[in-house]
Amino acid sequence: MNNTASRNQTNVSKLSRNDRLSAVLAVTLTFGAIALGLLFRQEATNQTWLFESRAAGIAARYPAGWLVDERGNYVARIRDPRARPYKTQYVISVVPVSSQSTVRNVLDSLTLQRASDLAAYRVLLVEEIATSGAARTRMRFAFVDADPNPFIQRLPVVVLGEDIIILDGNRAIVATFMADKDAYDTDHPAFERFLASLRH
Amino acid sequence: MNEVIQHQCTVCNQLLDAPKRFGGREYCDTHVHQFYQEPPHFWRTSVMGLGALLLTVAGLLIADLIFGARLNADMRILAGMAFVSLSPLVWITLYYRSSRRNRAGASPWPPLLFALGSLVAVAVTHPIFSSIIELELWLSRTNATNRFLAHILLNGFFHMFVLYALVRYLSWDHPSFDHRVHGLVLTLSACLGYATALNFFFIIDHEGLTILYGGLRLISQLCAFVAPALILGYFLGINRFEDMPFYYLSAGLLLSAVANGLLLYAGSELNYVGLSLTQTGFSPWPGFVASVLALVATGATIYGLLRRQNALARARLNPDL
């Protein structure tokens, strides 16, 4: 090879054009697939189904896959079937109010009822908020949920909740959100989207 | 001015005056007749690794009979780690020892890639999947269709790209990568370290698993990595010694990513067995059996394909034989 030193030498890279294109394509393909997967995950996380009660004149969009129960003394209770240990849930109920009633009356009634039904029930905060451009009242509360089933052994769970009171003529619509204290912050944005979609 | 094109051997980088050519690549006289040879110890140690895997299952059954549910969390974590690392350690040790016996100076890359694969799993994959994407949490809350797609798009592509990058960008140009079968060896080495570290995290995150059911789940996950790694290794091994079309490696990456996602999905989804029209039960065996069968079928297919490719290369380079 020494006799070629005086001449111009062209080093041929061992990487061919196909090798270089292949390296770019592999990276592009992987990042494309992962980006698609993340977009898909985002879409699936935010996917919603429509709940509609013609009797109560209320409609809202709730997270896909949650279960709707309309057999209690409420318009609907919508629960996440996969949540553990406490099932994150939204409850919509309607309370008749007279022209003299105030939001405070509705809140007091809820508090009295829950204080007798729920263990260690405490009201944490009551405040006026503006949601979707309308003035509403929010009450935050906490209680302890202990499963009464003696065959299920688990520790009692501290549940955090929130009521949104909407005065609507001669009725008050109460939208309630309840979740295990550890899941509360994670699940709250979905409840805000649920509230934003509420039509009455 | 004269221009002289320098030719280099694809394997040893030696400058050549009269290179031998095969499949668009250039070789020295030694390596042109070497890359299609088949060191028998790779397949022998792979069969022994599979045997160690089946012995692990027997060990799980015996340990479950002896200890049952009596182990505490710490012991369950230690037992899970011991069971799941047995087969990978047997394979890497046997391969390294036998390659040292078969030729002078065994390549340092298999144990190195095993260690690097573990490190990437610890430093990159686990933090991304558990803390940033929170994939397992989302998978546990979504439906089967979403789980299937997420396993392929997020798990499959990410894991296989890590293995591809480790082999393609670190060991591809090293002179010790001088046989096609080394594509399988290097990818498998990186894969075993990577999958074992991820399995360790799976055990720790769940605070220890039950001996039999948890152990079978871990072995299913290991198979879900090894079978696609063989596919990827085959494509890397072929492309290293032939100038294949630019989409060839990406096709291998795509195929292995789909296989990885599919096996990870099947390994857990098949375990939900129907007891009646309305009841579903759990058994770890269907997922385990499907994963092991997929591994054996993939291994046999790759073995056949590689032997055929090597026979064709031998015939083309030695037309007088």
pLDDT for A3 equals: 45
* Contact (CB, 8 A) for A144 and A160: no
**Cα B120 from Cα B195, distance rounded (Å):** 10
Residue B274 is predicted with a pLDDT of: 62
- Count helices and strands in chain B by DSSP H and E runs: 11, 6
Q: What is the pLDDT of residue A2?
A: 44
The answer to whether the Cβ–Cβ distance between A26 and B149 falls below 8 Å is: no
Chain B residue whose CA is closest to A4: B4
Banded model confidence at residue B237, pLDDT cuts 50, 70, 90: very high
Q: 3.40.1000.10, 3.40.50.1700, 3.90.79.10, 3.30.930.10: which CATH number matches A49-196? A: 3.40.1000.10
Pair of tokens at residue B45 = 């140690």
Which of A22, A34, A40 is the closest to B246 by Cβ? A22
Of A152, A164, A161, whose CA–CA distance to A183 is shortest? Answer: A161
Q: How far is A159 from chain B (nearest CA, A)?
A: 20
Q: How confident is the model over A131-142, as pLDDT tens digits? A: 666 778 999 999
B291 within 8 A of B264, measured Cβ to Cβ: no
* Chain A residues near residue B25 by CB distance under 8 angstroms: 14, 16
Q: Are A174 and A110 in contact (CB under 8 A)?
A: yes
What phi and psi values does residue A89 have, to the nearest 5 degrees?
-150, 155
- For position B269, what pLDDT does the model report? 84
Domain residue spans of chain A: 49-196
Q: Is the pLDDT of residue A7 over 70?
A: no
Q: Residue B14 burial by CB count (10 A; 0-12/13-18/19+): exposed, middle or buried?
A: middle
- pLDDT (0 to 100) of residue A5: 44
Q: How confident is the model at residue A12 (pLDDT cuts 50, 70, 90)?
A: low
At residue A97 the predicted structure's pLDDT band, cuts being 50, 70 and 90, is confident
Instruction: Report ipTM (2 d.p.).
Output: 0.88
Give the list of residues 6+ apart from residue B66 with CB closer than 8 angstroms, or none: none
Contact A65 B143 (CB under 8 A): yes
Identify all chain B residues contacting A65, using CB atoms and an 8 Å cutoff. Answer: 141-143
For residues A10 and B306, which has the higher predicted lDDT (pLDDT)? Answer: B306
Q: In this complex, do A8 and B3 lie within 8 Å of one another by their Cβ atoms? A: yes
B240-293 pLDDT, tens digit per residue, is: 999 999 999 999 999 999 999 999 999 888 887 665 666 666 788 889 999 999
Structure confidence at residue B309 (pLDDT):
94
From the list B258, B153, B281, B268, the residue with the least C-alpha distance to B221 is: B268
Separation CA B80–CA B199 (nearest Å): 9
Tell whether the model's pLDDT for residue A18 goes beyond 60: yes
CB contact under 8 A, B140 and A44: no
At A174-198, the pLDDT tens digits run: 999 999 999 999 899 999 999 989 9
